[in-house]
Amino acid sequence: MEIKSAAFLISSAKLSQCPEPDRPEYAFIGRSNVGKSSLINMLTGRNSLAKVSGSPGKTTLINHFLINPDEKSGDKGWYLVDLPGYGFAKRSKSQREQWQKMIAEYLQQRANLQVIFVLIDSRISPQKIDLDFINQLGEWGVPFNIVFTKTDKNKQSETAKNVKDFIKSLSAFWEIIPEYFITSSVKKSGRDKLLSYVEGLNFRFWGE
């Protein structure tokens, strides 16, 4: 899929403030600093659409971006959503509870959400915090896919091992392993596959 336009739309503190659920939506989440904003910029081909930060924990709201609307053809396009990550040590207990409430409400009730992409740092072995989050998604019945990030930082063999180990850890809990994508925002790899996947789900959403 070609990205013809990508624009920031709105930041929401809760579900009721989110835009009308009238087009397919894809949310991105992961541990703080995993490379979410960088991935969003890489996918959309816009360098500063989402803010990339050296200091983790910048995103605290549900951020909607509108991709590829086309007035001429009547195509409504789709929503890309940047969610605040988990595992940010400097959050207070009440901030963490607020995060949990917002994320639980959004993920369980957002009617047009097609899948959530969970970002996993490909440089490290499977982490409990990621597996716990994914298992929570299972309890909520939220469909998810995995996106491995920062693959340019490791040797290919190490990435392959970490990916394999992560998928193996998932198999302990899941019978069906979801689709996963291997990406690097620096090398712009994994972009075509992920966008084609989104395009396929968009077709399905509109019943084409």
CB of 50 to Mg ion, least distance (A): 6
- Which of ligand GTP, Mg ion, none is residue 80 near (CB under 5 to 8 Å by kind)? none
Task: Tell me which stretch binds Mg ion (CB under 5 A): 53-61, 111-119, 150-158, 179-187.
Answer: 53-61
What does the block give as tokens for 44? 């959309």
Element (H, E) at 101: helix 93-109
Nearer CB in complex with Mg ion: 149/151: 149
Nearer CB in complex with Mg ion: 76/85: 85
Nearer CB in complex with Mg ion: 79/202: 79
25-30 and 78-82 strand pairing: parallel
Closest to 38 (Cα-Cα) out of 196, 143, 189: 189
Binding to Mg ion by residue 32, rule CB under 5 A? no
Cβ atoms of 60 and 83 closer than 8 Å: no
- Which of ligand GTP, Mg ion, none is residue 34 near (CB under 5 to 8 Å by kind)? ligand GTP
- Which residues of this chain interact with ligand GTP, rule CB under 6 A? 30, 32-38, 52-54, 56-59, 85, 149-150, 152-153, 184-186
Rg (CA), the chain: 16
CB of 113 to ligand GTP, least distance (A): 19
Nearer CB in complex with Mg ion: 37/149: 37
The residue written with tokens 């917002």 in the block is 102
What does the block give as tokens for 94? 């009440």
CB of 27 to Mg ion, least distance (A): 13
Q: Would you report the helix, strand and coil content of the chain in percent, each value rounded to 5?
A: 35, 25, 40
CB of 136 to ligand GTP, least distance (A): 18
Nearer CB in complex with Mg ion: 118/170: 118
Separation CA 144–CA 146 (nearest Å): 7
Separation CA 55–CA 32 (nearest Å): 9
Closest to 36 (Cα-Cα) out of 198, 183, 199, 192: 183
Binding to Mg ion by residue 59, rule CB under 5 A? yes
Task: Tell me which stretch binds Mg ion (CB under 5 A): 34-42, 86-94, 174-182, 190-198.
Answer: 34-42
